[in-house]
Chains A and B, each alone.
Chain A
Amino acid sequence: MTIAMDFPSINPDFSPRLVLTGITKRYPAVVANDGISLAVMPGEIHAVLGENGAGKSTLMKIAYGVVKPDEGTILWEGRYQHIANPAQARRMGIGMVFQHFSLFETLTVAENIAQSLDAQMPASALAARITEVSEKYGLPVAPHRLVHSMSVGERQRVEIVRCLLQQPKLLIMDEPTSVLTPQAVQTLFATLRQLASEGCSILYISHKLDEIRSLCDRATVLRNGRVSGTAIPANESNDSLARMMIGNELSACHLEPQETGEVRLDVDKLSQTTIDPFGTALKEINLAVKSGEIVGIAGISGNGQKELLAALSGESLNPRASSIVLMGEAAGRLNPAQRRRLGLTFVPEERLGRGAVPAMSLAQNALLTGARHGLVRYGLMRHAAIRRFARDVIARFGVKCGGEQSAASSLSGGNLQKFIVGRETMLQPKVMIVAQPTWGVDVGAAQLIWQALIDLRSQGVALLIISEEIEELFTISDRICVLADGRLSPQVRLADTSVEQIGNWMSGNFSALSANSDADGQPDKHGAHVKQENNLAQA
């Protein structure tokens, strides 16, 4: 075999575990995979790197038998195989941990795992096996815990343990770190390295360059459904990997220090319960965003992000009007339209269906929140003005589309996000809230969106960014804080903190520093302390 020879780091005695050749998969609108080939050796951690939409997930679904390729061959341990379905893939020794977990929240860990085992096993024996495997790989999991009480990181462990019980020879991990704290990422990497050392091959899907460089032996880089290069990540820099991924250099965004103005968004001890049994109640959130600054809220989804956004946008109301003060007005009881009238604009996390109406054209979607900007007169739509506004957004933000009459659903996620950010930006906000600004957006579009937000900051807009990507927040925030379990950490200046500290806070460990009062139930003291922290940060 010639494959191994190119890669002296891997023992040439082994033949490849999995060889994909000329894999092609066409969907009606797009060729997801176009003649992709790659080979994975036993014990190798092989990265599949690419932007969103590059075809990584499709390729992995083909390897796991979820999707059938239109063309191409799969060679497994030296033999041609048709992988008809995931059950067959598991029998062959392929396990996969999906980006979106498939666990029943109302069942226990053991019950969930029993659902997916192809062979029957008595409950007690299964629990013992789970404990055994989880201890061996440093993945603490209690078999009898109910899934809904577990954090996202813990749920991922359940998914991994579920795969490991099948003793896989190849483990596929699809964007495993997108939901993890930096510390949890390190724990996961230790587990993966241990698995690899025992001879298990790992296909690691990601678009995070740092992770791939520290973890993976080899990388196959995809761009637009084709292999755009292979590399040994340890020998590469982030820039060189990014070049392979997107085809041009990353241009750096940076914040020029600038004076801040008056407080435009002031959240004062905002508490909110939730009717969603798996939702997170907000607990005494204090937050102030000033004119001309960007405040970032880090944290993992499910820690109250959804609830905080709804409370800020007005989609859920607070009985205490003064809990949210917008442009000097008590806004807790104002609905979204009234808050927009005060100068708030908002980019939601969900783009299709919330930030834009999928079936409507971009022009019609421009009107969604743009009515007060000359697009409606005497209750009538001004179609010419609406089209002009949409064309402006498209031109200024480089939205790739077939013109302002194309349907929102026909745009890629990144382009639609550019359109929505563009629309909300051009509505001349005084306060702008952006959730996950570049989630699923390619690097080029992300740069553009960041620059747009920074430009708003220069114009004196108060910006609040909620994101799961710590690097992003460290790129564009003046101050940063963490939302964990419905509580908000103090806001600190970027210079006064580190990724490690923020990561630590993401697991909820900021109470010791801010909230002795939480324990003895004196909320006032808590609030005062945070205020003080703010003052220090701004001093």
Chain B
Amino acid sequence: MLKLERRPAPSKVMTIASPLIAALAMLLTGIVIFTLLGKDPQQAFYVFFIKPLQTMYGFGELLLKATPLLLCALGLALGFRSNVWNIGAEGQLTIGAITGGGVALWLGDSTTAWGLPLMLAAGALGGMTWAAIPAYLRNRFNTSEILVSLMLVYIAQLLLSYLVHGPWRDPQGYNFPQSKAFGDAFLIPLLMDGTRTNWGFILALILALASWSFSRWTYAGYRMQVAGHAPAAAAYAGYSNKGNVWMALMISGAMAGLAGICEVAGPIGQLQAEISPGYGFAAIIVAWIGRLHPLGIVLGSLLMSLLYLGGESAQMQMALPSAITGLFQGLLLFYLLAADLFIQFRIKSIKPARTPEARSVATEAA
């Protein structure tokens, strides 16, 4: 018989092995699904996971798509570690794109060197403003930041849609719901020729290092972790709970806002109704699969980026529906959560208890 038994201490090995197990299980399930769809699993695997990376351009796309995922996930992970559950990075990303994009549209053809920094700052501020709403409401009325930040995603998306359909629509844009293209001063420079990868990826890597240093070296980072592990201990030590909520949401909002800028000032180059294929949500999975650790999140964002690329590649080459990307994301999270159980628990086979045979009980007891 098998029994689930709590480990005396969480398993370090399983903490690291769990994402790998989840990725492997996702692959195996994917192969089964391809087979059931009548596709050759070997070819499907090749199209999904190998082909997108075979060219320099493809590799650049990998880094490009990893950038917003990495930025969002770094901010979210800091919050998750401090018990603040920002689910609305997608909305903060959208608002960041609006405020940053607004700066670009407002300054138009200006060639100032301050264009891009200004835009990044506006984007970060925009994301922070949007994240301030759940922060304020939680501190003032004890609302759930999970629900508030999630609902604000849809409001942000509708706001963007209103702007590009209405006031910010490009008059010369043949009625497409999109803004004017941003001037050159408002585009992030490319990192490598022949790819679309830009300096945003380097910015994200620097922020990953900054995020690691924040947790490792600063007292503020330590206090956030205490709030995450044991809220009562934080209260006992006199750490402000409200301050923690503000800190977590401001950081994750700013990072999501930057991710929005990296998209609109990067591959898109203008505002349009759809600017993100769910990066803000996928970043939640990235944060968990990266174990809420910056290094893990870098790797997780690359894996998640590959799923996006593979999904696109499978759509084009094998006529699979676009839902395939979401399917793989879902599988990955599903298996990760299942495998994470074994960090705290282990399976033990239990032997039937020894039967009491004729032992001289009375004498022993005496």
Contacts and interface: CB of A to CB of B under 8 A. Distances in A.
B174 interface: no
A497 to B, nearest CB: 32
Contacts of B219: 367, 371, 376, 379-381
A364 B8 contact: no
A356 B233 contact: yes
Interface in A337-369: 337-340, 346, 348, 350, 353-360, 364, 367-369
Given A22-B364, A39-B365, A360-B229, A354 B353 contact: no
A381 B222 contact: yes
A465 interface: no
Interface stretch (A49-57, A66-74, A442-450): A66-74
Given A1-B362, A335-B238, A29 B233 contact: no
B279 to A, nearest CB: 30
Contacts of A29: 8
Interface in A37-61: 37-39
B232 A359 contact: no
B236 A348 contact: yes
Contacts of A336: 235-238
A80 interface: yes
Given A335-B240, A336-B238, A367 B222 contact: yes
A314 interface: yes
B7 interface: yes
B366 A6 contact: yes
Interface string A24-39: 0000110000000111
Contacts of A410: 9
Contacts of B7: 28
A407 B7 CA distance: 14
Nearest to B221: A381
A75 interface: yes
Contacts of A407: 9
A69 B356 CA distance: 12
Interface in B178-208: none
Contacts of B363: 2
Contact of A80 (B5, B236, B356, B366): B356
B57 interface: no
B23 interface: no
Given A354-B233, A359-B229, A3 B238 contact: no
Interface in A354-401: 354-360, 364, 367-369, 371, 376, 379-381
Contacts of B238: 314, 335-340, 369
Contacts of B356: 73-74, 80
B233 A353 contact: yes
B226 interface: yes
Given A337-B239, A368-B237, A19 B229 contact: no
A19 B236 contact: no
A313 interface: yes
Contact of B361 (A19, A356, A369, A409): A19
Contact of A354 (B220, B225, B232, B362): B232
A25 to B, nearest CB: 11
A194 interface: no
A21 B359 contact: yes
A70 B353 contact: yes
Contacts of B239: 337
Contacts of A38: 365
A65 B10 CA distance: 29
Contacts of A368: 226, 233, 236-237
Nearest to A367: B222
A262 interface: no
Contacts of B361: 19, 21, 73, 75
A315 B240 CA distance: 10
A339 B366 CA distance: 59
Contact of A28 (B8, B229, B237, B353): B8
B285 to A, nearest CB: 23
Nearest to A358: B230
B359 A357 contact: no
Interface in A9-29: 16, 19-22, 28-29
Q: Bin chain B's interface residue count.
A: 20 to 34
Interface string B338-365: 0000000000000001101001011111
Which of A21, A68, A410 has the most chain B CB atoms closer than 10 A to its own CB? A21
Nearest to B351: A70
A342 to B, nearest CB: 12
A538 B226 CA distance: 43
Given A1-B362, A2-B363, A355 B217 contact: no
B3 to A, nearest CB: 12
Nearest to A5: B366
Given A3-B365, A367-B222, A73 B359 contact: yes
A358 B225 CA distance: 12
B55 interface: no
Contacts of B232: 350, 353-354
Interface in A281-305: none
Contacts of B237: 336-337, 368-369
A379 B236 contact: no
A70 B350 CA distance: 10
Contact of A315 (B10, B230, B235): B235
Given A2-B366, A21-B364, A73-B361, A380 B217 contact: yes
B218 interface: yes
A358 B229 contact: yes
A381 B218 contact: yes
A364 B362 contact: no
B220 A19 contact: no
A361 to B, nearest CB: 12
Nearest to B10: A359
A210 B313 CA distance: 79
Which of A5, A315, A357, A371 has the most chain B CB atoms closer than 10 A to its own CB? A357
Which of B236, B239, B359 has the most chain A CB atoms closer than 10 A to its own CB? B236
Contact of B236 (A71, A313, A338): A313
B362 A355 contact: no
Contacts of A340: 238
Contacts of A371: 219
A388 B236 CA distance: 23
B230 A354 contact: yes
Contact of A357 (B229, B240, B364): B229
A171 B66 CA distance: 65
A74 B361 CA distance: 9
A355 B364 contact: no
B226 A360 contact: yes
Given A2-B362, A359-B230, A364-B222, 20 more contacts: A1-B366, A2-B363, A20-B365, A21-B361, A37-B365, A39-B365, A68-B353, A71-B353, A75-B362, A335-B238, A337-B237, A337-B238, A353-B233, A357-B233, A358-B230, A367-B219, A368-B226, A369-B238, A380-B218, A381-B219
10 contacts: A3-B365, A19-B361, A28-B6, A37-B365, A354-B230, A357-B229, A358-B230, A360-B226, A376-B219, A379-B219
Interface of B: 5-10, 217-220, 222, 225-226, 229-230, 232-233, 235-240, 353-354, 356, 359, 361-366
| 7 residue pairs, one from A and one from B, having the closest CB atoms | A337-B238, A336-B238, A73-B356, A29-B8, A2-B366, A354-B232, A28-B8
